[in-house]
């Protein structure tokens, strides 16, 4: 608890730098990542991250110093080169973009490792620390780093605000953007540039492999909460920043823990949580909707059973045994029993001994479904000129979906028919 207090009070200025630095990195990568995500170029960030390594090494070999400015310039050049090559490979060969990304990512990284190990073996004393680019050094961020990150984050945010509308358009509809005369190539260049920039600085916090997560993971998570780009960017930024904060907190409290991987861990948990639990689009919500639909279809089908049997022998309210019900429709015993119980709960069926009886309200509901089925058959037959023996299967599916509005429209359109194409009566509920 003591260390938590120390951490939160920022009594140690280094803590402040680390927290600020990682939060800035997380936030700026998340902003840029939203656009990469929406343009379906999530893995390009991964390629850039790997391609930066040879640039850093070359910059060091040429300049002989570890001045962050030179290193970032080198990183920037190879990062950009990787983008151009990926584009070139996909344009001029039959290789798909993911293969192109894989080639560039692994080869550039291989070259980077070759150069890095060569530099390390050369015995040049000033090289120590270059390998920070591999795994990041979030725990040892300094004041200078924070200034650099802060400046770059500010530039990124400024560019995104200035070109927000344009970026939005080329993310969703680049063709339209071209048609209305926007400089699409220039805008793509700007987006690519800020992506490379975000990766070049972010990599110093979490390292090569995990950099991709800083870009894509917050955007993917945020996507589940909203359909608005502005809101999505805000949520992603929040995810990025809070993960930066939590990651540095964890590695402060437990010094053996690496900061970068914990940042990614927090991000991933937030995002996987969103994927599961987000309302409407989350996996659970979808599952629930699916369950509800299946339930609705099941009970409507069972209700129809009672109606069909009643239609056959004239006694809608007769008692029916499970055996008879099973013989009428292709249903599994387990499903039928579940349907019967659900209907009992709705008060649409009553159980009498071993037999089941439909209630008044149940009968009305059954009539509604049967009516929709037969109206639709009628519609297909009359308007689409389908043969009567071709319309049943389609109606079997649509009967569960038609809304009351559509129902009224169908009735009107067909002028309140009384018989369906098979000459069965269409029941109307008074």
Least separation, in Å, of the C-beta of 115 and another protein?
Answer: 7
Which stretch, 44-52, 295-303, 306-314, 374-382, contacts another protein (CB under 8 A)? 44-52
Q: Is 224 in the site for another protein (CB under 8 A)?
A: yes
Does residue 280 belong to the site contacting another protein (CB under 8 A)? no
- Separation of alpha carbons 388 and 179, rounded Å: 48
- Figure out which of the listed residues 18, 86, 101, 236 binds another protein, where binding follows CB under 8 A: 101
Among 240, 261, 339, 427, the residue binding another protein under the rule CB under 8 A is: 261
Residue 153 CB, nearest approach to another protein (Å): 21
**CA distance linking residue 213 with residue 42, whole number of Å:** 9
Residue 43 interacts with another protein (CB under 8 A)?
A: yes
User: Is the Cβ–Cβ distance between 314 and 361 less than 8 Å?
Assistant: no
320-321/355-358 β-pairing = antiparallel
* Both structure tokens of 149: 């990150």
Sign of CA dihedral 319, 321, 324, 329: positive
| Residue 245 interacting with another protein (CB under 8 A) | no
Indicate the length of the chain as a whole number. Answer: 430
Distance in Å, CB of 120 to another protein, minimum: 9
Q: Judged by CB under 8 A, does residue 194 bind another protein?
A: no
Size of the site for another protein (CB under 8 A): 66
CA distance 12 to 20: 13
Interaction between residue 204 and another protein (CB under 8 A): no
Residue with tokens 């022998």: 313
**Which of 55, 112, 362, 427 forms a contact with another protein (CB under 8 A)?**
112
- CB contact set of 243 (below 8 Å; sequence gap of 6+): 26, 218, 263, 264, 266, 267, 270
DSSP state of 352: E
| Footprint (CB under 8 A) of another protein, residues 124-183 | 131, 134-135
Residue 139 CA to residue 251 CA, distance in Å, equals 8
Secondary-structure percent of the chain, ordered helix, strand, coil, rounded to 5: 75, 5, 20
Q: Which residue's entry shows tokens 């840029």?
A: 32
- Return the number of the residue (34 or 309) whose C-beta is nearest another protein: 34
Rounded distance, CA 371 to CA 47, Å?
Answer: 58
Query: By CB under 8 A, what part of segment 307-336 binds another protein?
Result: none
Q: C-beta of 345: minimal distance to another protein in Å?
A: 29
For another protein, the closer CB: 47 or 336: 47
Residue number with CB closer to another protein (259 or 301): 259
Residue 107 as a binder of another protein (CB under 8 A): the answer is yes
User: Any idea what DSSP says for residue 284?
Assistant: H
Which of 2, 122, 403, 423 touches another protein (CB under 8 A)?
A: 122
Binding site for another protein (CB under 8 A): 37, 40-43, 45-46, 50, 89, 92-96, 98-99, 101-103, 105-118, 121-122, 131, 134-135, 208-210, 212-213, 215-217, 219-220, 223-224, 256-258, 260-262, 264-265, 268, 271-272, 275, 281-283, 286
């Amino acid at each position: 608890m003591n260390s938590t207090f120390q951490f939160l009070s920022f009594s140690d200025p280094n803590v402040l730098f680390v927290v600020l630095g990682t939060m800035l990195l997380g936030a700026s990568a998340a902003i840029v990542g939203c656009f990469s995500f929406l343009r379906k170029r999530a893995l390009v960030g991964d390629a850039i991250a790997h391609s930066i390594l040879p640039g850093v090494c070359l910059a060091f070999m040429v300049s002989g110093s570890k001045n962050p400015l030179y290193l970032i310039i080198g990183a920037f050049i190879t990062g950009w080169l990787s983008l151009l090559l990926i584009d070139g490979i996909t344009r001029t060969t039959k290789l798909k973009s993911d293969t192109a990304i894989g080639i560039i990512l692994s080869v550039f990284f291989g070259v980077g490792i070759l150069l890095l190990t060569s530099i390390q073996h050369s015995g040049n004393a000033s090289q120590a620390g270059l390998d920070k680019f591999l795994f990041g050094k979030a725990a040892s961020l300094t004041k200078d780093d924070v200034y650099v990150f802060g400046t770059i984050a500010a530039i990124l945010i400024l560019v995104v605000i200035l070109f927000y509308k344009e970026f939005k358009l080329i993310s969703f509809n680049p063709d339209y953007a071209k048609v209305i005369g926007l400089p699409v190539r220039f805008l793509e260049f700007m987006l690519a540039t800020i992506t490379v920039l975000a990766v070049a600085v972010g990599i110093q916090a979490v390292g090569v492999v995990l950099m991709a997560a800083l870009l894509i993971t917050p955007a993917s998570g945020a996507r589940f909460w909203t359909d608005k780009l502005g809101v999505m960017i805000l949520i992603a930024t929040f995810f990025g920043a809070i993960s930066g904060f939590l990651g540095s907190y964890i590695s402060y409290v437990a010094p053996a823990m690496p900061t970068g991987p914990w940042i990614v861990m927090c991000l991933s948990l937030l995002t996987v949580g969103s994927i599961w639990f987000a309302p409407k689009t989350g996996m659970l919500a979808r599952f629930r909707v699916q369950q509800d639909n299946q339930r609705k279809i099941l009970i409507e089908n069972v209700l129809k059973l009672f109606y069909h049997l009643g239609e056959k022998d004239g006694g809608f309210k007769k008692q029916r045994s499970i055996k008879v019900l099973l013989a009428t429709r292709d249903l599994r015993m387990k499903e039928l029993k579940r349907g019967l119980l659900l209907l009992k709960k709705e008060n649409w069926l009553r159980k009498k001994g071993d037999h089941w009886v439909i209630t008044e309200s149940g009968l009305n509901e059954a009539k509604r479904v049967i009516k929709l089925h037969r109206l639709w058959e009628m519609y297909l037959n009359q308007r689409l000129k389908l043969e009567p023996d071709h319309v049943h299967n389609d109606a079997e599916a649509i009967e569960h979906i038609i809304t009351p509005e559509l129902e009224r429209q169908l009735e009107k359109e067909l002028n309140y028919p009384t018989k369906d194409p098979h000459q069965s009566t269409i029941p109307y509920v008074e």
